Structure 1
């Protein structure tokens, strides 16, 4: 998960789409009509990190239109290009958005829905970690940082995308959380508390979907995918002797994210979906 949030607004959507059309012609390949999410429009917050890159790749492979955001335009462009080249013809674009600015976040959601006619998902991958050796050594500035990264960005994306996800008829808001939120350790007080707050906020969103859905059931779902921690190939290369016991590979997370749309909204709404054993 990436811990970048701030950045200058960058809107290259139309240029990116036009460029993709040209590249698709050159490569002569297309994912259109072949994936389980064909035609779905899915936004990914925190798209430039390892988990974001894996998610962009998997969603593009599944046939979705993918709109990634991150605060780092260079890393975002690299992630978007990787997904586009891996799956020629897939629509994958990037917007640099400050998710700590509610107005910018709403503009991102509105712009996406206006351009593509719908939004079927928001995947929240913005992350970050701060901790200490003991509980007594906890630095409350860590809380201030994590409150912004792990809570405020969830609040802004959920509020900005809520209505569009309901209009979709099969929308999903997916928060990636950590097992430590359910069983915090002494040195992770700020991190675990931030994750727990983000989970509670997401579950409140799910209750909103339940209530507006009425007797027919929710038209959208908010759910939480829980990992112990994430691992990727670079981490394994840097620590070849590490076991990473219980960690979830970013490709496995991306697959689990994609599969959520195959289950009815009523089944996943308000659920904690564990990708690691419960603590």
Structure 2
């Protein structure tokens, strides 16, 4: 069995993701908006979801406006509801015939001045945002991604997951748990491939933190050293379909220097 790569071919006049159907969870934020723009530009049919209907609508409208004729849809999905998440995955596969990707961009941060001042309410909140949503989306989309023959499950994580600081205990632990869960999915994809390459890949894109134009405008003197621009993140996301699944599966893809 040969390796699976992206659908578009160089020089065919199509985007590298032409014919692909990619779901984006947490699409209403700056990273989500950048991902929608890039995926639409590459020719993908993009199915976006977010808990905030207004932010989602703005991101979807921007992607549609930037790329006339692009297929970008959005709907409010409660990713903390396992049944609703499974229904989203099943509905997407039924409507479009396949799902080639789930990009997980649900985020959130809470910290404390010191380890001793950690508020365990922060852990409860981050557990839902950063772990539970990963569990629900991965369980819901595992089957469709394998059936697509070229699936990607992509998690965005933070370098701090592997080098936590005293005031970031809850955040770093949540990110580390989400990474472990994603790597378990990668192992499931590997085993499903049998003797050949996996038909889907799960990978982690690691950043120090993200930055976007509004942050720069709000803090014109800030350096944002080591931060990853959301447009660069979007480019890296789209690029994973250009690599063979066996080279992507189970990998931590660093977009910032390793600590």
CA shift, 1:33, in A, is 5.6
Instruction: Show structure 1 runs of 5+ residues with no match.
Output: 1-31
1:12 aligned partner = none
Q: 2:139 aligns with which of 155, 159, 176?
A: 159
* Residue aligning to 1:9: none
The alpha carbon displacement at 1:74 in A equals: 1.1
The whole-number CA distance in structure 1 between the counterparts of 2:13 and 2:65 is: 18
Q: Is the 8 A contact 1:68 1:92 kept in 2?
A: yes
Q: Does 1:149 align with 2:149?
A: no
Kindly provide the CA deviation profile for residues 83-110 of structure 1, in whole angstroms up to 9, marking residues without a partner as x.
0010000100001000000000000001
Instruction: Measure, in 2, the Cα distance between the counterparts of 1:155 and 1:148.
Output: 10
Q: Distance in 1 between matches of 2:250 and 2:109?
A: 25
Correspondences of 1:1-279 after superposition (within 5 Å) = 34-279=14-259
Q: CA separation in 1, counterparts of 2:55 and 2:187?
A: 35
Query: What are the superposed Cα offsets for residues 30-78 of structure 1, whole Å, 9 maximum, x if unpaired?
Result: xx96200001000000000000000000000000000000011111111
Could you state the TM-score of these two structures normalised by the residue count of structure 2? 0.95
Q: 4+ residue runs of structure 1 moved beyond 3 angstroms?
A: none
Deviations 1:2-23 (A, max 9, x none): xxxxxxxxxxxxxxxxxxxxxx
Q: In structure 2, what is the Cα distance between the partners aligned to 1:33 and 1:152?
A: 40
- Give the root-mean-square deviation of aligned CA atoms: 0.9
Partner of 2:7: none
Structure 2: segments with no counterpart, 5+ residues: 1-11
C-alpha contact 1:33 1:63 (8 A) present in aligned 2:
no
Q: Matched residues in 2 for 1:157 and 1:33: separation?
A: 33
Instruction: State the distance in 1 between where 2:63 and 2:202 align.
Output: 25
Match of 2:6 in 1: none
Residues in 1 aligned to 2:30 and 2:225: alpha-carbon distance in whole angstroms: 19
Aligned equivalents of 1:33, 1:159: Cα separation in 2:
35
* Separation of aligned partners in 2, 1:114 and 1:165: 13
What residue number does 1:23 align with?
A: none
Return the alpha-carbon distance in structure 2 between the equivalents of residues 115 and 211 of structure 1.
28
What TM-score, normalized by structure 1, do the two folds share? 0.88
| In 1, Cα distance between equivalents of 2:137 and 2:158 | 19
